[in-house]
Amino acid sequence: MHYQSERTYGCRISDAWTFRGLKVVVLENEIVRVTVLADKGAVIYELVHKPTDTDFMWRTPWGVRDTRRFLPTSGWPEGLWHDVYEGGWQTLAPTGGSPMTYAGTEIGQHSEATLMPWDVQIVDDSPERVSARFWVRTYRTPYRIEKLLSLEARSPVLTVEERVTNEAEEEADCVWGQHIALGGPFLSPSCRLDVSGGTVIVPGEGERATRRLKSGQRSEWPMAIGRDGAPEDLGAIPPKSARVQDYAVVTEMPEGWYAVSNPERGVGFAFVYPVQTFRYLWYWQVFGGGSGYPWYRRTYNVGLEPFTSLANGQPLPGSRRSTAIRMKAGATLSATMRAVAYPVGRGFRGVSKVTPDGKVIPIRR
């Protein structure tokens, strides 16, 4: 193998690193640094805005565990995923959600691909542009998943190009999405969440006392009905002391983007994606209210996760039709997405739009 460039300026990339025994790929430019755990699901473990020293990605209390040196105490399908969940940003396909039976085989929490090592190849390596391609073939499902991560010089935009291919010689279901978790110190009650609009669905996950929202409702973004019947602004981020946890879905969005702005830190995180592909934005909310395993009320984070489908392909409320995509033999789905770090100055009132190329447009006075 040739020696990689050891530049100290412009765009840089290297796959010559390990962290806790796992192969790591680092891409960076003058503004952002991206760290990918190639040996564990090609997880984007770190996405740092250098000028403010802000890592947008949430970390679990236990962080990264080397799965080669870690043995769970049981084979519980949900626990196997959570035991080694580090936070960050996972690609989920062709399943996403709670443990399920898929075409006669058992699949644990979310997706087998997140627990597998991925292959990696550096594609571009110059001061103007760096990129790396990651790919994997799942073992219980017949899918090949690929993603290309790219940075350009002096740009705050990470471009992600993904492809999901059904390699079976028969039709197969697919739930595909981006499991993105944001946390502190970036996430705080000073943050504001903006999306393009849409319908909020609260499926309900039991009537536990720590719920934030009333179950079974539909409303127009950003307002919903709280557990106590009072109006709840979903664009506001509660403090950890609120001790609430919930899950909602935003659908029928006119455009595919969201933005979380933090005026105190002077920076925001935006994500833009093709809404015709990812029709459902999962909104996982854990504001100190995740009781019991694995959170034990220690965690403060949100998951803002564009997906093709509801969890496990569940039907929409009132429907019996699966939301999973039925892919023909040999069919491929593809999408280009962008994550953006943007400045948040004084008097910032929120985001009105994120363009497909990653330009963040603030709300004007």
Say if residue 207's pLDDT is above 80.
Answer: no
Section 204-214 average pLDDT: 79
List, for residues 71-95, the tens digit of each pLDDT value: 888 889 899 999 999 999 999 999 9
pLDDT of residue 208: 76
Domains contained in the chain, CATH given: 12-352 (2.70.98.10)
* Amino acid (1-letter code) at residue 40: K
List, for residues 281-331, the tens digit of each pLDDT value: 999 999 999 999 999 999 999 999 999 999 999 999 889 999 999 999 999
pLDDT of residue 221: 98
pLDDT of residue 69: 85
Say if residue 183's pLDDT is above 60.
Answer: yes
pLDDT band at 10 (very low <50, low <70, confident <90, very high): very high
C-alpha of 314 from chain center: 19
Bridge partners, 280 (sequence order) = 251, 307
Section 18-45 average pLDDT: 97
Say if residue 206's pLDDT is above 60.
Answer: no
List, for residues 221-235, the tens digit of each pLDDT value: 999 999 999 999 999
Bridge partners, 22 (sequence order) = 19
pLDDT band at 5 (very low <50, low <70, confident <90, very high): confident
> pTM, whole model, 2 decimals?
0.97
Say if residue 137's pLDDT is above 60.
Answer: yes
Residue 203 to residues 28, 246, 274, 283, Cα–Cα distance (Å): 39, 10, 24, 11
pLDDT of residue 38: 98
Say if residue 2's pLDDT is above 70.
Answer: no
Section 342-360 average pLDDT: 95
Alpha-carbon torsion, ordered 280, 286, 289, 290, to 10 deg: 80
Q: Is the peptide bond before 94 cis (omega within 30 degrees of 0)?
A: yes
List, for residues 289-300, the tens digit of each pLDDT value: 999 999 999 999
pLDDT of residue 341: 98
- DSSP class of residue 82? H
pLDDT band at 205 (very low <50, low <70, confident <90, very high): low
Q: Can you tell me the distance from the alpha carbon of 177 to that of 273, in angstroms, rounded to the nearest whole number?
A: 11
In terms of Cα–Cα distance, which of 195, 147, 140 is closest to 168? Answer: 140
Section 328-336 average pLDDT: 98
Section 352-364 average pLDDT: 96
Section 112-118 average pLDDT: 95
